[in-house]
Structure 1
Amino acid sequence: MASPPQRRRAARHLADAGPTTRPGPSAGRKNPITVDAVVDAALGVVEREGYDALTMRRVAAALETGPASLYAHVVNKEDLDDLLIGRLCAEITFPEPDPRRWRQQVGEVCGQIRDQYLSYPGISRAALAVVPTNTETLRVSEGLLGIVLAGGVDPQRAAWAIDALLLYINAFCLEVSLLNRQADPDGWVVSRDEMLRRFAALPDTFPHTKRHAGELTAGTVMDRFDFTIDLMLAGLDGQ
């Protein structure tokens, strides 16, 4: 038989499920521990210290309680990851699908997801590990699917394209968070000028890299994000 927290997790995945109301060890506190309070504390940890710092013990400390208190509301770290991504996905808004602007609409939604993840350094690692069962997380794929289908894309190609888009967004945000963490005087990140110098110093066995060093190092990370999203969506035209 499933434990009470697991039953509550299953209930959260139902569209008509209400908030968790069962009191845990925090009963009687001025600010009782709830699922939302746990998620708020966890997001605070990630925002301040990065996803690598997120543990059940660290969240409990932020709530001034013990880790055992959290398990009355959250099953485990994986459940917490699911809740975190669901909370961020709940902030995503969707336009009414427009067959004439579907590619632009998908790009705008992808930009929203990117911005949510970049606000919490490294949290896209949680998105990569989460099986999408949270209704808010599923709402994102549902919304994207509706837009792409409105553009006349075959359902199978649309489904796989959305999976690829979300995977790219997750990977992009993870890379940016890693680069930002390393962007210090002693880190491994180098400037564009330094990259150009290194490419220019390559032997002649790298003729294309030396000749097109400017193109290889051009643009901001956001320029490359927009280019890649456009490139992926362009592959769905003329199917």
Structure 2
Amino acid sequence: MPGEGKSGEGRSGAGGVDPERLWLRPAEPRRGRRPSFTREAITVAAVAVADAEGLEAVTMRRVAAEVGAGVMSLYSYAPDKETLLELMVDHVSAELAVPAPPTGDWRAGLKAVARLQRAHMLRHPWLPAALSTRRSPGPNTLAFLEHVLAVLRPSGLDGAARLEVFAQLTGFVAGHVGYEIAQARAALPPGRAEAEARYLAAVAADGRHPELAEALASAGSPPTPDDTFARFLDRLVDGLDST
């Protein structure tokens, strides 16, 4: 992709996105005629493409076409796809409207945060993949992080541990949502679920898999995705040590 991998605004001289330049300095177009679009418009267009078609569809050329510009004119605002991903992640983070101030029940508050994150990632199915590599938190992401750290203050954990809990929680939600999305896309054809159930029942009855037989006997009806997430979340948050 032309221009990607080169140094420019938003990148450090040693490679990688420079968070100071990206977030603390306003984006300025290069010399010449001022373009008819903004960094915000570029980001919105990229998010729309990713929401509809996935991250692989987001290229500088495609985004330039969406905003009606030549691809070279985008580089002073987003010099490469890595910078564009940073902008996209922080842009959608503005949707994470935090609830009322923390109540003091940090476990309940943390579970509310996780449910908010899950709904957010399901709206933007590309987010789990985008978050799988290290990102520099922009202003919207930092506002959400500030809320989560406040939620965790009554836990007794120190600041570093609270940051770790936030990272652990976000990783859990991203991984779970990624699995949910993959399962939804790989929906079983008619009759396949029944065939798999019969197969597992036969295996459980052969006497060689007693642990599996016990697990299947206690499984009951298949849980909903919401129920599964809630159960896993309870195990994670309730198991956190606040000492």
Scaled to the shorter chain, the TM-score interval is 0.7 to 0.9
Q: TM-score, normalised by structure 2?
A: 0.79
Q: In the alignment, which residue of structure 1 is the partner of 2:149?
A: 145
Q: Supply the RMSD in Å over aligned alpha carbons.
A: 2.9
Deviations, residues 211-235 of structure 1 (Å, cap 9, x unaligned)? 3225287312221212222221112
Is there any run of 5+ residues in structure 1 with no aligned partner, and where?
none
1:97 partner amino acid: P
Q: In the alignment, which residue of structure 1 is the partner of 2:209?
A: 206
Task: Give the match's secondary structure for 1:13.
Answer: helix
2:232 partner amino acid: T
Q: CA 1:216/1:45 → structure 2, altered by over 3 Å: closer, same or farther?
A: farther
Aligned counterparts of 2:227 and 2:33: Cα–Cα separation in 1: 47
How much does 1:118 deviate?
A: 1.0
Paired residues, what number? 227
How much does 1:141 deviate?
A: 2.6
Aligned counterparts of 2:33 and 2:183: Cα–Cα separation in 1: 39
How much does 1:173 deviate?
A: 1.9
Deviations, residues 1-33 of structure 1 (Å, cap 9, x unaligned)? x7345489634423xx5x5353678835xxx22
Deviations, residues 60-119 of structure 1 (Å, cap 9, x unaligned)? 2222333322212112111111111111212212331221x2222221222122112111
1:13 partner amino acid: W
1:97 aligns with 2:102: yes
Q: CA 1:133/1:216 → structure 2, altered by over 3 Å: closer, same or farther?
A: farther
Aligned counterparts of 1:24 and 1:60: Cα–Cα separation in 2: 19
Q: In the alignment, which residue of structure 1 is the partner of 2:15?
A: none
Q: Does the 8 A contact of 2:27 with 2:76 survive in 1?
A: no
Q: CA 1:122/1:149 → structure 2, altered by over 3 Å: closer, same or farther?
A: same
Q: Does the 8 A contact of 2:9 with 2:78 survive in 1?
A: no
1:10 partner amino acid: E
Q: TM-score, normalised by structure 1?
A: 0.80
Q: CA 1:56/1:109 → structure 2, altered by over 3 Å: closer, same or farther?
A: same
Pairing partner for 1:219 from 180, 199, 223 = 223
Q: Does the 8 A contact of 2:10 with 2:21 survive in 1?
A: no
Q: Write out aligned runs for 1:142-181 (5 A).
A: 142-181=146-185
How much does 1:45 deviate?
A: 0.8
Deviations, residues 124-160 of structure 1 (Å, cap 9, x unaligned)? 2111113233232233333212211223334444332
Aligned counterparts of 2:33 and 2:108: Cα–Cα separation in 1: 47
Task: Give the match's secondary structure for 1:97.
Answer: coil
1:27 aligns with 2:37: no
Q: Does the 8 A contact of 2:28 with 2:77 survive in 1?
A: no
